[in-house]
Structure 1
């Protein structure tokens, strides 16, 4: 029995040493100063809430948001129009003011592309991307939104397992249906910080904590834009969160083809839960980390920007932190 306990304690100690070493390596990523050229080139995105298409928001709210979109170099917005029903259908009753919103938005911001943000949970008992009939209905919904006047479709299905074939089949069929001229984008989860980690953790965990970089690359091949949701990471401190986002940026740049726009997600919301410490995951930390990760590449990637989440939750301080930290770096703070 004593021998067994010694072995268990030794194994636990080894795991702790590895974990502490990994934490230190993550923290060290968030050091140094980003290059002066690692800033916005006015190709950023913004997730916009459902209130724009259900009648709660209108002219007054857009007048308030418009200068932020302009100052923030926002070239694309993703407007929530769903969610989808569990069989893949999209009920038009969920977006009764869609046409009015599009007319208003195009009048005020004609140079900003507008994509329909379409998604649903894909856990057991909910939307099944592995079902061909379900995928067909999702694509029918996407095509209807483009016909209604959207420039493109932005998919956001969560959680999608690593190496899931259903999502790949959906993206391939969506592209075939909508054609090359329609903008196709998707939000994606965080990616393994080290090669092989997604596979290893997938053997131990009931749900995949990361996508592999290889799977991200295969998904990106079907898209015009990829938005990495680099938040809700569970990192306990700002330094560790910053280091994690630096590494996410580096891995994603390697995985996503250079002709596909890579957008790194920036948190701008107050949520405090098990997967997010709002004092660690700040807007300022995210933008600085993205700049450091971009700098590590040694040169400016043309198809690169950030995606801010979200218009309905960002405080004035978070918008200032975003503008100071990414659009015109100068050290803004959250608030």
Structure 2
């Protein structure tokens, strides 16, 4: 009992020191400005339903006001066999014409994904070459429709997923042959690569429950060498205080930009929906944390970087105003995200 009490007291003391240290660290105002290269995940209705000219104009104005350069328009998801029925994006032509007219320079990418089959559970089996071939056929059809790129969001993707890497290779060949973009959304990387075997041992990867699909350093480098843009889904922090959540965003920003910021454009994902711990994680905390992470860089990355707002269907006018306040315009990392 005595040792149990000592262990509990030690753990509580360590937690108190961590929380206090994070609170002190969090007080300093970030120096880094926002960037001129930013992304937005957009709802399926933009390609699946008709809109008025006034609605297209208003959306284009929102993109320009908030310095959004890349929009991932949900055009899927993939069917189990890797296809996307054209009826799902029947209004893409009207949308893309409006974007080019009212928001020239903004890249409209087809946002495509599905639950990736793992150990027999899921929807789309990327291990099947025939499925991957049909995915590529769907990609080609969407590029033919006028999209500026393909944005993948398959989940879960583990760092030993050679089939996904093969799909990335084939898709890169397709998009580059058309002069278009390939982008991908990934989960936030591991804090320590050595934790992956621990997760795998504690939560075996079978059935509907999986251990966290966190990219390792090596896997993220391999993805960055294949993609024009990598969006890190940094949200859903599940930490109990604003300071700890902010530290999470800062740490992942610095680590990711130092690792792949010279190889590809990076977008750090920020939430505008109600997160798992709403009193600690919100848009303002995420943006402030990312700016603190940029502050900690020894030098800016060679490629452009910014934030990815998730998502347009959860962001109201008040949140966009908060975004502009917490991600103020600056000249850092401006440029074309190619």
Band the TM-score falls in, shorter-chain normalisation: 0.7 to 0.9
Show CA shifts across 1:287-321 (max 9, x none). 10000001100333342111111112102221111
Q: Give the equivalent residue in structure 2 for 1:208.
A: 211
Instruction: State the SS of the aligned residue for 2:223.
Output: helix
Structure 2 unaligned blocks of 5 or more: 205-209, 331-338
Q: Are 2:69 and 1:51 equivalent residues in the alignment?
A: no
C-alpha RMSD over aligned residues? 2.6
- Say if 1:268 and 1:283, in contact at 8 Å, map to a contact too: yes
Distance in 1, matches of 2:122 and 2:13, equals 37
**CA displacement at 1:56 relative to structure 2:** 4.9
**TM-score (norm. length: structure 2):** 0.85
Show CA shifts across 1:239-261 (max 9, x none). 22111111111221132151300
Distance in 1, matches of 2:166 and 2:134, equals 13
Q: 1:105 aligns with which of 91, 99, 110?
A: 99
**CA displacement at 1:71 relative to structure 2:** 1.8
Q: Give the equivalent residue in structure 2 for 1:332.
A: none
Q: Are 2:37 and 1:33 equivalent residues in the alignment?
A: no
Q: Give the equivalent residue in structure 1 for 2:336.
A: none
Instruction: State the SS of the aligned residue for 1:129.
Output: coil
Q: Give the equivalent residue in structure 2 for 1:60.
A: 54
Between stretches 109-118 and 119-128, larger displacement belongs to 119-128
Q: Against the structure 1 CA distance between its residues 173 and 160, is the aligned structure 2 distance closer, same or farther, given a 3 Å change threshold?
A: same
Distance in 1, matches of 2:219 and 2:307, equals 21
Q: Are 2:282 and 1:287 equivalent residues in the alignment?
A: no
Show CA shifts across 1:121-163 (max 9, x none). 1141311222211111111111111111111111111121233
Q: Give the equivalent residue in structure 2 for 1:255.
A: 259
Q: Give the equivalent residue in structure 2 for 1:230.
A: 234
Between stretches 161-170 and 94-103, larger displacement belongs to 161-170
**CA displacement at 1:281 relative to structure 2:** 1.8
Q: Against the structure 1 CA distance between its residues 31 and 189, is the aligned structure 2 distance closer, same or farther, given a 3 Å change threshold?
A: farther
Where does 1:286-305 land on structure 2 (aligned, <5 Å)? 286-301=286-301, 302-305=303-306
- Say if 1:102 and 1:149, in contact at 8 Å, map to a contact too: yes
Q: Are 2:324 and 1:323 equivalent residues in the alignment?
A: yes
Between stretches 208-217 and 196-205, larger displacement belongs to 196-205
Show CA shifts across 1:166-195 (max 9, x none). 211110111123326221001110111234
Structure 1 unaligned blocks of 5 or more: 330-335
**CA displacement at 1:196 relative to structure 2:** 2.2
**CA displacement at 1:60 relative to structure 2:** 2.9
Q: Give the equivalent residue in structure 1 for 2:163.
A: 166
Q: Give the equivalent residue in structure 2 for 1:333.
A: none
Number of aligned positions between the proteins? 318
Q: Give the equivalent residue in structure 1 for 2:271.
A: 267
Distance in 2, matches of 1:149 and 1:10, equals 65
- Say if 1:199 and 1:212, in contact at 8 Å, map to a contact too: no
Between stretches 65-74 and 20-29, larger displacement belongs to 20-29
Q: Give the equivalent residue in structure 2 for 1:92.
A: 86
Q: Give the equivalent residue in structure 2 for 1:136.
A: 133
**CA displacement at 1:218 relative to structure 2:** 1.2
**CA displacement at 1:90 relative to structure 2:** 0.7
Q: Against the structure 1 CA distance between its residues 107 and 32, is the aligned structure 2 distance closer, same or farther, given a 3 Å change threshold?
A: same
Instruction: State the SS of the aligned residue for 1:104.
Output: helix
Where does 1:307-322 land on structure 2 (aligned, <5 Å)? 307-322=308-323
Distance in 2, matches of 1:231 and 1:67, equals 26
**CA displacement at 1:18 relative to structure 2:** 10
Distance in 2, matches of 1:23 and 1:118, equals 40
Distance in 2, matches of 1:135 and 1:241, equals 37
**CA displacement at 1:31 relative to structure 2:** 4.8
Between stretches 245-254 and 230-239, larger displacement belongs to 230-239
